[in-house]
Structure 1
Amino acid sequence: MKNRKNISSGSPWEDIVGYSRAVKVGNIIEVSGTTATGKDGNIIGVDDPYLQTKTIIETAKNVLEEMGYSLDHVIRTRIYTTDISQWEAIGKAHGEYFGTIKPTTAMVEIAKLINPDMLVEIEFTAIAD
């Protein structure tokens, strides 16, 4: 695809699984499911869904900024959690970033993520101006 741009996080998982941190095609930007994994591979905020959510959104924010965009360009988030009873903590963190932007969203409970310390994973869709 001629106008496709892939953004890598440098994670070894990208080549193993075959994905990119983000892909921009035309004016659409998709940010892959993002967890609170630190650069050292450890999970940030073990047992803290609020901190994990904030860490995830900061990661997506950094990716978007690297591409020349911001969270203001996000039109949709998809939130996956292993414990829906933590929705208020997750929602509070999400609201701190998106309270005025108000993208569409979904929050669903799933059985588990790839690492048992991961409580939240979020996907982002953004539209470039």
Structure 2
Amino acid sequence: MPNRAVIKTDKAPAAIGSYSQAVKVDNTVYLSGQIPLDPQTMEIVSGDFAAQARQVFRNLSAVCEAANGSLQHIVKLNLYLTDLSNFATVNEVMAEFFEEPYPARAAVGVKELPKGSLFEAEGVMVI
């Protein structure tokens, strides 16, 4: 495929499966799901849901930067929560990382996520 590039950075967790951190095609970057892994230890960060959400957004930010973009370039964001009672908290944490205009977004309740994480986010960025 022409104009396709794999995005990789050591400032975000390495892939724990058969996927890339992100793939860029022309000016669109498809960001793989990030869970709250510390990129240095590859362990889930300790703390509550808010701490995990902050790590997820830090990880997404690192991948965006590796693709010469930022969280502000995300146009579509998908959020996965193992407990939808954390919906208000994810909105509060997201406001720490994003400015208006916010990306289009979905929030989905799921039974479980890799490594027992409480939250995962993935998206599409245009640069």
Fold similarity call, TM over 0.5: yes
Structure 2: gaps of 5 or more residues: none
Residue 69 of structure 1 corresponds to 69
The amino acid of 1:21's aligned partner reads Q
Residue 84 of structure 1 corresponds to 84
The amino acid of 1:44's aligned partner reads V
Distance 1:12 1:96, change over 3 A: closer
1:127 and 2:107 equivalent? no
Matched-pair contact (CA < 8 Å) for 1:9–1:20: no
Count of matched residue positions in the alignment of Structure 1 and Structure 2: 123
Deviations 1:49-86 (A, max 9, x none): 11111111111111111221111211111000100011
Structure 1: gaps of 5 or more residues: none
Residue 43 of structure 1 corresponds to 44
What is the deviation of 1:12? 5.7
How many percent of aligned residue pairs carry the same amino acid? 28
Please give the root-mean-square deviation of Cα atoms over the aligned residues, in Å. Answer: 1.5
Distance 1:45 1:106, change over 3 A: farther
Residue 57 of structure 1 corresponds to 57
What is the deviation of 1:42? 1.2
Q: Counterpart of 2:41 in 1: which secondary structure?
A: coil
User: How far apart, CA to CA, are the structure 1 residues paired with 2:21 and 2:5?
Assistant: 11
Residue 97 of structure 2 corresponds to 97
User: How far apart, CA to CA, are the structure 2 residues paired with 1:125 and 1:105?
Assistant: 10
Q: TM-score under structure 1 normalisation?
A: 0.87
The amino acid of 2:121's aligned partner reads I
Moved over 4 A (4+): none
